[in-house]
């Protein structure tokens, strides 16, 4: 099957990117550099290129595209281009469970729902390997304006403090519920403040809580979009 103009441009962009970098491009870089209109269009054409044998993909890795053929259908190879053959410097982060980006999800007796031995693989060019990293699968649409959609994976840095505007995982002690929101501390008129957990969706209302009822579990440091 012949390549479309868009698919040809994508292959040319990926080829050029790998010639300049020791790793393949991300979906966002293909979107920006290839002049594509949306991530869904990128996903559609990547799936088509995979079916036609031009690329191979590892969807659990942020830079998991491996170029197999060039635009002329010939085997692709650049001496020294390790990423062209999938040899990207990676490390694994455990997926600790799910978190609500909407109404909080009750999780009796635990902060997060365990998901067995599941893990995701990250490349060190997008985030530094460090202690306290873990991942959560997002359920809900309250953070869509922050480009966090239902089914996405958020990589968290474990910490118990937050600044105003940080996107954090919060445990609400009295309800035994966990949620993903932006954190804001609001001072009260008589000195007693409150926590506002703000969604990034204009159709949803914030959650207000007493500071003693809020336990911060971690801050979002990376979002991995799940493309069809």
Which residue did the predictor score with more confidence, 40 or 1? 40
Q: Residue 107: pLDDT band by 50, 70, 90 thresholds?
A: low
Q: Calculate the alpha carbon distances from 228 to 1, 39, 65, 225 in Å.
A: 22, 10, 15, 10
Selected from 3.60.15.10, 1.10.10.10, 3.60.21.10, 1.10.10.60, the CATH number assigned to the domain covering 5-85 reads 1.10.10.10
The pTM assigned to this predicted structure is: 0.59
69, 142, 192, 212: which is the annotated catalytic residue? 142
Contact by Cβ (8 Å): 162, 216: yes
pLDDT digits (tens, 9 = 90+) for 77-104: 655 454 444 445 678 888 888 888 887 7
26, 181, 187, 212: which is the annotated catalytic residue? 181
CB neighbours of 160 closer than 8 A, spacing ≥ 6?
215, 216, 217
Phi/psi-derived region of residue 147, left when phi > 0, alpha when psi is between -120 and 50, beta in every other case = left
Is residue 181 part of the annotated active site? The answer reads yes
Q: Class of 90-224 per CATH?
A: mainly beta
């Amino acid at each position: 099957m012949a390549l479309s103009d868009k698919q040809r441009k994508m292959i040319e962009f990926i080829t050029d990117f790998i010639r300049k970098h020791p790793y393949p491009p991300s979906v966002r870089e293909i979107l920006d550099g290839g002049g594509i209109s949306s991530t869904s269009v990128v996903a559609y054409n990547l799936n088509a290129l995979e079916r036609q044998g031009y690329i191979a993909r590892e969807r659990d890795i942020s830079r998991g595209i491996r170029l197999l053929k060039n635009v002329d259908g010939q085997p692709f190879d650049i001496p020294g281009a390790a990423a062209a053959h999938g040899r990207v410097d990676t490390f694994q982060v455990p997926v600790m469970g799910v978190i609500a980006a909407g109404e909080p999800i009750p999780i009796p007796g635990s902060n997060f729902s365990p998901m067995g031995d599941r893990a995701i693989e990250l490349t060190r060019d997008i985030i530094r390997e460090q202690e306290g990293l873990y991942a959560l699968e997002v359920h809900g649409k309250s953070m869509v304006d922050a480009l966090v959609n239902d089914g996405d994976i958020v990589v968290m840095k474990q910490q118990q403090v937050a600044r105003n505007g940080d996107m954090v995982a919060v445990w609400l002690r009295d309800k035994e519920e966990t949620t993903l929101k932006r954190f804001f501390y609001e001072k009260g008129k008589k000195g007693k403040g409150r926590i506002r957990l703000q969604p990034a969706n204009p159709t949803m209302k914030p959650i207000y809580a007493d500071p003693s009822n809020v336990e911060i579990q971690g801050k979002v440091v990376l979002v991995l979009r799940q493309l069809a």
